[in-house]
Amino acid sequence: MFTQKSLVLGRPASAPGDRRFIAKGVEQVGRPTDGQQTLAPSNDSPIAPNQFSHWIIRTAQNQFPFSAYADAAFAWQQVLNLFPDALVAVLMPNHLHLITHRRQVAKQLSGLMGVISRHQKQSGLWQRIAEPQSIQDGRHLKRTLRYVYLNPCRSELCGDPLEWQWSTYRNVMRASGSSTGSLRMLKLALPEFARKPESAIIRQLHHYVSSDPSVKVTGTEAPRLREFDRGEFLTVAVVEFLAAVMAATHADAKALLEKSATRRAFLRLCHFHGHFDTQLLAKICGITDRSVRRVMLMPEEATLGEIKICLAEKRFRSGLVEAEALRFIRSRVSE
């Protein structure tokens, strides 16, 4: 935790205009654009397991283009935009896993690879797209799903699948709204989940996925939604508020320097939990005290949504996300 005194919340004096953060203000990076394939049929018809394929696209040897947070965030946003209906997607430092029921995926992946290459201004970044693995049945699909979700853990990049930022596993666990089709697709693909409530699916799936030697043989505790009081996080550092926003939205911390939904989310979250040091927040966001207060007082009502989950569950904002938030805030307050 970032313990610099100026970045730790103190007890609030008074809360001017106690308005709650509105979750829908966060950027939705997973919305399909015109011309893209849509989600599964509107009648929510089941999708047979053998309609799914497991694709892997790899970068050239010794290339790790997604090690830096900003580069990974850009690539992940492109993946979510292009495949909002993916059953599973996991971005690793040098490759991407995708489980989808779509057809003609190779052409779409080729376009994705081109966009990322141009963004990184690098040619020869990718290997040739390999043939996908066809899914045979429900058991095979479930095992493949588990394998992909555990890829970061088995590569020793994190200790729990909940911690990996670039995975739709977090969407199923309701920690991100950027690919809202993930849980729905899971219900359509696996009949055992079709009629279960979300809370039961989360518990069952997480136990199945996390019960692995790379995590914990007996599994780890599933994330739980819980209500908390407005002042519960008075001793939490501002960096953890930023990490929670970044974890839920996949946003780059630099978005705080723009007139963006990320900035609004961050300031409303700080306000909701009693942080009224407008001078510090203004310096972090590169705006005036008056602008900070204006955002805090916006007359909107909503719940904290996915950001609330990421703030309450440390596994969703640990590792790379919190390190990036810490680096950004340190750079801002030292200017």
Residue 316 and residue 241 share a domain:
yes
Determine the pLDDT at residue 230: 56
Could you tell me which of 54, 80, 75, 78 has the C-alpha nearest to residue 65?
Answer: 75
Residue 177 and residue 58 share a domain:
yes
Whose tokens are 């007139």? That residue is 259
Determine the pLDDT at residue 118: 95
Report whether pLDDT(227) > 60: no
Residue 80 and residue 193 share a domain:
yes
Report whether pLDDT(321) > 50: yes
Residue 85 and residue 206 share a domain:
yes
Report yes or no on 128 lying in a domain: yes
Residue 307 and residue 180 share a domain:
no
Residue 198 and residue 124 share a domain:
yes
Give me the residues paired with residue 8 across strands: 237
Residue 143 and residue 67 share a domain:
yes
SS (H, E, C) 197-263: CHHHHHHHHHHHHHEECCCECCCCCCCCCCCCCCCCCCCCEHHHHHHHHHHHHCCCHHHHHCCCHHH
Report whether pLDDT(27) > 80: no
Domain assignment of residue 241, given as a range = 5-27+226-333
Report yes or no on 64 lying in a domain: yes
Domain end (from 156, 179, 210): 210
Residue 323 and residue 270 share a domain:
yes
Residue 273 and residue 236 share a domain:
yes
Percent of the chain with pLDDT over 70: 80
Determine the pLDDT at residue 25: 30
Residue 295 and residue 181 share a domain:
no
Q: Note the pLDDT tens digit of each residue in 189-214.
A: 999 999 999 889 999 999 999 999 99
Report whether pLDDT(76) > 70: yes
Give the Cα separation of 152 and 244 in Å (integer): 20
pLDDT band at 90 (very low <50, low <70, confident <90, very high): very high
pTM of the model: 0.82
Report yes or no on 218 lying in a domain: no
Tell me how many domains the chain contains: 2
Determine the pLDDT at residue 294: 93
Helix axis angle for 198-210 and 138-149, nearest 10°, is 70
Report whether pLDDT(2) > 50: no
Report yes or no on 119 lying in a domain: yes
Determine the pLDDT at residue 229: 56
Report yes or no on 239 lying in a domain: yes
Report whether pLDDT(17) > 60: no
Residue 168 and residue 232 share a domain:
no
Question: Containing H/E element for 292?
Answer: helix 289-296
Residue 112 and residue 81 share a domain:
yes
Distance, C-alpha 215 to centroid of its chain: 20
Determine the pLDDT at residue 304: 62
pLDDT band at 35 (very low <50, low <70, confident <90, very high): very low
Report yes or no on 40 lying in a domain: no
Q: Which span out of 130-144, 170-184, 285-299 was modeled with the highest average pLDDT?
A: 130-144
Report whether pLDDT(21) > 60: no
Report whether pLDDT(20) > 60: no
Number of separate helices (H) and strands (E) present in the chain: 13, 4
Q: What is the chain's mean pLDDT, rounded?
A: 83
Report yes or no on 195 lying in a domain: yes
Domain end (from 186, 210, 234): 210
> What is the per-residue burial (b if ≥16 Cβ within 10 Å, else e) of 298-310?
eeeeeebbbbbbb
pLDDT band at 335 (very low <50, low <70, confident <90, very high): confident
